[in-house]
Structure 1
């Protein structure tokens, strides 16, 4: 059974979420949350010491989803040249982004537009820095697997592409007139366009051709040895 404290904590969270998403973080006071929830103002501080703490809990599911997406894009399974050509990989990437935007559109809008007076004021800058560091690590790991890849990409370019990714999602979130089909089309176009650029920049095709030639040569040599025996 849910304890009174758990009930009150959830009540405050649900009340704050509805108020923040409807009016914006800055426009909602703790006194208003107290009035809407029926929980005494002094009692609220026993659960959430400040309004920022309530905002953090409201945004937590979105931030978890964002971290999960970043982890997915840099997991071991993504250390393959197939990510540049696989339509299945592109389709899954598009569906992942679509799912997060669709589920957390209001939270995204809040985080993009109305967190200036909170601890999340510089969230996107910190996110881009984190993504840049992970991206540089990813290139190093790809270089170990594919030595002929060009991975000497400037850190600032990686920073730019991470920023571009965030702005892509921001445009989708803020253009509420877009239909699901239009969003799906746009994200798919972005993923193909971005992948094509990285493919060219890293000389992926050249590396693939060398691997194919090497594979054929190895196979041919094996056949010769077999026939000789």
Structure 2
């Protein structure tokens, strides 16, 4: 029975992911992926235009999870001062951040350190800019809902806060020997720290 195209694509992706993680994207050739997968190089190009396209496909679940994380953070449920009052919101923020980092820790390492010269090279820079705009929008909406809040916050400082998110991710990704318990603690500390900081900056009683 002829192998289905979907199965071949899945096989190529699995082998490519393993080789990218083991040797780095730059040091992984399409020929190596062909040898390890048993799929002819010419046939691989029927599924992926080039190695950059293949890397993007390997990282697509992470990118999707990241976009879902951003959408959740932009949802109306966060535009309330209840965020600063109830632990249930802290738990929700922890779960959302963990949903990006924990299942995709290896893929995050590729995205952070192995995308030079590919279409994903500026992924995090672009997302930081997006998160900055999300932060500005958040302040404006909170001011409309709660006129007493103080939103006189430097946009440069907001950018620093966006950078902090990525620094937390990098710390987790760089330390491969870090246990799940340690990862959980870092994420929880980050959520508590930023939530308390926002409460103070907005002057919420």
TM-score (norm 2): 0.93
Distance in 2 of aligned mates of 1:49 and 1:4: 19
2:24 alignment partner in structure 1? 24
Distance in 2 of aligned mates of 1:42 and 1:85: 58
Q: Which moved more, 1:42-51 or 1:96-105?
A: 96-105
CA contact (8 A) 1:12 1:37 kept: yes
Distance in 1 of aligned mates of 2:50 and 2:200: 49
1:111 is displaced (CA, Å) by 1.2
What is the root-mean-square deviation in Å for CA atoms of aligned residues?
1.8
Q: Which has the higher helix share?
A: 1
1:23 is displaced (CA, Å) by 1.6
Count of aligned residue pairs for this structure pair: 205
1:194 is displaced (CA, Å) by 1.2
Report SS of the residue matched to 2:102: helix
Query: Given the alignment of the two structures, is residue 72 of structure 1 paired with residue 72 of structure 2, yes or no?
Result: yes
1:100 is displaced (CA, Å) by 2.5
Distance in 2 of aligned mates of 1:174 and 1:99: 18
Larger radius of gyration: 1
TM-score (norm 1): 0.84
Distance in 2 of aligned mates of 1:46 and 1:177: 38
2:182 alignment partner in structure 1? 182
1:3 is displaced (CA, Å) by 6.7
1:223 alignment partner in structure 2? none
Gaps of 5+ in 2: none
Gaps of 5+ in 1: 206-229
1:153 is displaced (CA, Å) by 2.0
